[in-house]
Amino acid sequence: MSEETDIIDQVVSQEYKYGFTTDIEMETAPKGLNEDIVRFISSRKNEPEWMLEYRLKAYRHWLTLSEPEWQNFSYPKINYQDIIYYAAPKEKKKLNSLDEVDPELLKTFEKLGISLAEQKRLSGVAVDAVFDSVSIATTFKEQLKEKGVIFCAISEALQEHPELVKQYMGSVVPYTDNYFAALNAAVFSDGSFVYIPKGVRCPMELSTYFRINAENTGQFERTLIIADDNSYVSYLEGCTAPMRDENQLHAAVVELIAMEGAEIKYSTVQNWYPGDKDGKGGIYNFVTKRGSCEGKNAKISWTQVETGSAITWKYPSCILKGEGSVGEFFSVAVTNNAQVADTGTKMIHIGKNTRSRIVSKGISAGKSHNTYRGLVKVAKKADGVRNYTQCDSMLIGSHCGAHTFPYIEIANQSAVVEHEASTSKIGEDQIFYCNQRGIGTEEAISLIVNGFCREVLNQLPMEFAVEAQKLLAVSLEGSVG
Amino acid sequence: MSGTLTAKTPGAEFLESLKSDFANYLAQAGDTNFVNQRKQAFDLFLNQGLPTPAHEEWKYTNLRKAYEANLATTCLQEEGIADLLASSVLNGLDAYKLVFVNGCFQPQLSALPQAGDLVLLPLSEARKQNAATFDAHFGKYIPLEGYSLNALNTALMSDGAFVQIKKNKKADKPVILFQISDSSLVNAFSQPRNLVIVEEGADLHLIESFLSNGNGTSFTNAVTEVMVDKNAHLEHYKLQRQSDTTYLNHFTQIHQEADTSINHVTLTLSGNMVRNNLHFYMNGRNCNSLLYGLYITDGNEFVDNHTRVDHAMPDCFSDEKYKGILKDQSTAVFNGKIMVHLDAQKTNAYQRNQNILLSKDAVVNTKPQLEIFADDVKCTHGATIGQLDEEPLFYLRSRGIPENEARKLLLNAFADDIAEKIRIPELVQVLEDEIARKIS
């Protein structure tokens, strides 16, 4: 037992290793939020008039909203006037190759294990790196262009493909959706844009790396992915931030649109700074992610490994409109120290014969709380719907909590919906079994946790699976290998 | 939305009438602790207001039509209650009975035990005769904060039953509490309130039956408070069979001390709109609680079961299973919450909700919740919604059983799973027949 306590202590005392800051010259907007700031961001980005109009509409709508209060945690009120809404590395001129990128920046990404140059040569993953609010570099652009794939920063897409952006932005997550989506629509600074043309299978994994660097800034990026008929894309997203004493807000919006027969696979490995062990500092990760299966037999699959952030609050969802479309959600959420995760998904079945699968694994340690909140809704006319939900929680230590709030709303008799959940701790008998076979307690816990998450980790593309496992190790070091 | 179009909030008139009822009550009442308790409760009620779907706990359930049914609080009753009781499935059972019509005690229809180990009284009598016990337990277990209808019941309750079984005694017969809402003369509003005390080591079988009479609208806001002391055992059954013009809200709080065991079954067989809250609070180690429920709905019926099991102490066990069969345009809501408190180690808690939808227009909203603050626990919950399983159906048909028969057989088996949890053999058969009739 004492050995176990030691390990738990180690788990609790693990520190964040991406907490460095990069000393780089930044151009920032003044603190605070008002219409001028919105105009400032828009003009900095040289945006078309309609975009500015959209932002202003969103901002005015945001003013009428109040912050939600239904969540299963509390946080100190955010002072929205104390945030810098725009921060960009200075000297931004058009970059043609990585050689022109500020070497300081490249170093930062190297430290994070995201060496842009390296990636370019070796791994065959196209990366779009977003540093604070601005997309720094997108690799492999030329190669993708040959296939007709558009992968660029959303600010660039606004210049080069405004018609696509105009048509789809806000179609899945309108600015009226919620408080943070409205804020994002008003002040989003950059993000990634992906368009896969009809019948194209994107030849490589697309990836975005988000980094918050500057102090007092919020990061509001916006991702828009459109997969046209019968196309396929796999998209990865990773994030880190420096260690700071104050909380920083990250309120992103991600919209996915899958047309007939298209498939989008969206994977996230989230490792924002979680705050220190007393819960001081850390990122508030309040993100709206939603995908819409517009056409027949479309498929959207969310995979997330959430280990960072002081508070993670998001529900990547699928609207299954097209007949026979499929939604999937695989999640591992690890919370430690004073972290909070309130996450889950919504599967809205509108089309006939739509299917969805939810696998959620929550691991809480320290004094943290992990909540699964999910909705499975079957509309009246959606015949033949099938859903399977599994959510398992694991508790490490006796001061943490695990909570499950599944909402199931069924208005069609032909639906078959199942929900299963369990909560357990690592059993003494399980550890004893391993010990008996010569496996040390630490290794045994690692084995058990890995086995617990395997179903989800298997969903990640190779490159990310490795990183995710490493992250689990960081979050639960001493118990996970 | 605001202002002109919806000039009044839902139930504004009802609220006004409740205020004047309470003012009338206060005018005659003295200044005792009991009156103060009710005064506080009424203030709490006013602060919280009548529940509406804006409240998360009432998200799917709207009692607005009940509030606006021009209700009157009355003891008036038509004849025919005796016939109604005679036709009840419980009629053949040898038991002690307390009968209430619109919350008013009916001595001529009741059957009380000789004075002794089992005390059965109307609550209003018990407050005078057993003042010490009454004061020690009344209102001590139910939550008022967040449950405005409980506060309303506390402030303006009609009458109800007082049941007390003495230390280490076993009641020789089951006790049945009949709550009948009679709306044959006016639209009736009643607030029955029951207090049940099972003393240390005692054993009681308790049945609560909800019936209705008349074609008017009735709204019943009932509260049952149960205290089960150390090492005692309680069999508790709820049988709800009201007409399609009734609204029933029944809150049951069961408070358990150490080493107690409870077997609870709720059967909702009919009623226009039924909302049950069943709360268990385990205040000692080694408690054992079984909660089972069955609802069979058709027409426009609406059944909402909210349960909450508070594992406040270590080493307790709870098993919960609610099953539903839905026909026509009926709706069922299930919300189960298992709350494992900090340090309630070695908790074992299970929760399941299974629903079969037999029609295109039936709706199920279910939310099986777990909230866990201790690490050494085993908790599982599950929910299923679907149609009858095709495979057993095929099996039966391949053996020459017509489809209709086969369906009935399977549904009966599905429902009997709950009915058979009742441990009064005479009752099980009657109920199984009743269920079979409802299904066919």
Per-residue pLDDT of A24-79, as tens digits, reads 666 777 788 888 888 888 888 888 899 999 999 999 999 998 888 888 888 888 88
Alpha carbons B396 and B76: distance in angstroms, whole number: 53
- pLDDT-flagged residues of chain B (< 50): 1-7
User: What is the reported pLDDT for A1?
Assistant: 43
User: Is residue A481 one of the residues assigned to a domain?
Assistant: no
- In chain A, % of residues over pLDDT 90: 28
Residue A86 to residues A30, A38, A83, A219, Cα–Cα distance (Å): 8, 10, 9, 8
Q: Which helix (H) or strand (E) holds B125?
A: helix B123-129
Is residue A360 over pLDDT 50? Answer: yes
Alpha carbons A470 and A477: distance in angstroms, whole number: 9
User: What is the reported pLDDT for A442?
Assistant: 75
What residue ranges in B298-391 does DSSP mark as E strands?
302-311, 317-326, 331-340, 347-357, 363-372, 377-386
Q: Which domain holds residue A29?
A: 2-475
Query: What is the crossing angle of helices B33-48 and B12-28, to 10°?
Result: 170
Residue holding tokens 């690692």? A446
Selection from B92, B64, B61 nearest residue B306 by Cα: B61
Selection from A266, A241, A248, A253 nearest residue A311 by Cα: A248
The residues, ordered by sequence, that sit 6+ positions from B233 with a Cβ below 8 Å of its Cβ are: B198, B202, B203, B204, B260, B261, B262
Alpha carbons B301 and B25: distance in angstroms, whole number: 35
User: Is residue A457 one of the residues assigned to a domain?
Assistant: yes
Selection from A466, A392, A454, A465 nearest residue A426 by Cα: A392
B336/A contact by beta carbon, under 8 A: no
The average confidence (pLDDT) of chain A is: 80
- Across A156-160, A349-353, B370-374, which has the greatest mean pLDDT? A349-353
Query: C-alpha angle A421/B143/B364, rounded to 5°?
Result: 40
Count of domains in chain A? 1
Q: Is A2 helix (H, G, I), strand (E, B) or coil?
A: helix
B362/A contact by beta carbon, under 8 A: yes
Nearest CA in chain A to B364: A410
Selection from B401, B368, B400 nearest residue B385 by Cα: B368
User: What is the reported pLDDT for A463?
Assistant: 63
Residue B287 contacts residue B316 (beta carbons within 8 Å): yes
Per-position DSSP letters for B171-218, written without gaps between them: -SS-EEEEEEEE-SSS-EEE--EEEEEE-TT-EEEEEEEEEEESSS-E
A369-421 tens-digit pLDDT: 889 999 999 998 999 999 999 888 888 877 888 888 889 999 888 888 888 88
* Residue A360, Cβ density class (10 Å: 0-12 exposed, 13-18 middle, ≥19 buried): buried
User: Model confidence at A277, in pLDDT bands (50, 70, 90)?
Assistant: confident
Residue B370 contacts residue A421 (beta carbons within 8 Å): yes
CB-CB: which of B374, B381, B382 is closest to A398?
Answer: B374
The C-alpha of B206 sits at a distance from chain A's nearest C-alpha, in angstroms, of 33
> Which residues from A are below 8 Å from B331, CB to CB?
none
User: Model confidence at A427, in pLDDT bands (50, 70, 90)?
Assistant: confident
B223/A contact by beta carbon, under 8 A: no
User: Any idea of the CA torsion for A227, A231, A232, A237, to the nearest 10 degrees?
Assistant: -20
Nearest CA in chain B to A381: B360
Q: Is A95 helix (H, G, I), strand (E, B) or coil?
A: coil
User: Model confidence at A135, in pLDDT bands (50, 70, 90)?
Assistant: low
Task: Number of helices (H) and strands (E) in chain B: give both, helices first.
Answer: 10, 20
Pairwise CB contact (< 8 Å): B366 & A408: yes
Full-prediction pTM beyond 0.95?
no
Least trusted range by pLDDT, from A88-97, A186-195, B293-302: A88-97
Take residue B311 and report the two structure tokens written for it.
Answer: 């594992």
> Which residues from B are below 8 Å from A409, CB to CB?
363-365
User: What is the reported pLDDT for B4?
Assistant: 41
User: What is the reported pLDDT for B69?
Assistant: 87
Residue A247 CB: number of other CB atoms within 10 A? 19
Residue A62 contacts residue A182 (beta carbons within 8 Å): yes
Pairwise CB contact (< 8 Å): B385 & A408: yes
* Residue B117, Cβ density class (10 Å: 0-12 exposed, 13-18 middle, ≥19 buried): middle
User: Is residue A480 one of the residues assigned to a domain?
Assistant: no
In this prediction, the answer to ipTM > 0.90 reads no
Alpha carbons B112 and B117: distance in angstroms, whole number: 12
Selection from A280, A276, A289, A299 nearest residue A230 by Cα: A299
How crowded is the C-beta side of A461, counted as CA atoms within 13 Å? 22
Alpha carbons A330 and A318: distance in angstroms, whole number: 12
User: What is the reported pLDDT for A120?
Assistant: 47
User: What is the reported pLDDT for A116?
Assistant: 53
Selection from B87, B306, B295, B296 nearest residue B180 by Cα: B87
Selection from B153, B73, B134, B77 nearest residue B109 by Cα: B77
Residue A177 CB: number of other CB atoms within 10 A? 16
CB-CB: which of A411, A420, A425 is closest to B363?
Answer: A411
User: What is the reported pLDDT for A92?
Assistant: 46
Is residue A479 over pLDDT 60? Answer: no
Q: Which helix (H) or strand (E) holds A388?
A: strand A386-396
> Which residues from B are below 8 Å from A393, CB to CB?
370, 372
Pairwise CB contact (< 8 Å): B376 & A398: yes
Alpha carbons A97 and B169: distance in angstroms, whole number: 89
How crowded is the C-beta side of A276, counted as CA atoms within 13 Å? 7
* Residue B111, Cβ density class (10 Å: 0-12 exposed, 13-18 middle, ≥19 buried): middle
Positive/negative CA dihedral, A331, A332, A338, A339: negative
Strands B203-213 and B233-241, bridge-based pairing: parallel
User: Is residue A448 one of the residues assigned to a domain?
Assistant: yes
Question: 49-108 in B: which are within 8 Å (CB) of A?
Answer: 56
User: What is the reported pLDDT for B6?
Assistant: 45
What's the average model confidence in pLDDT over A462-467?
Answer: 68
Chain-centroid distance of CA A219 in Å reads: 13
User: What is the reported pLDDT for A426?
Assistant: 76
User: Is residue A379 one of the residues assigned to a domain?
Assistant: yes
- In chain A, % of residues over pLDDT 70: 76
* Residue B185, Cβ density class (10 Å: 0-12 exposed, 13-18 middle, ≥19 buried): middle
* Residue B376, Cβ density class (10 Å: 0-12 exposed, 13-18 middle, ≥19 buried): middle
Alpha carbons A420 and A390: distance in angstroms, whole number: 5
Positive/negative CA dihedral, A439, A440, A444, A447: negative
Alpha carbons B408 and B410: distance in angstroms, whole number: 5
> Which residues from A are below 8 Å from B355, CB to CB?
410
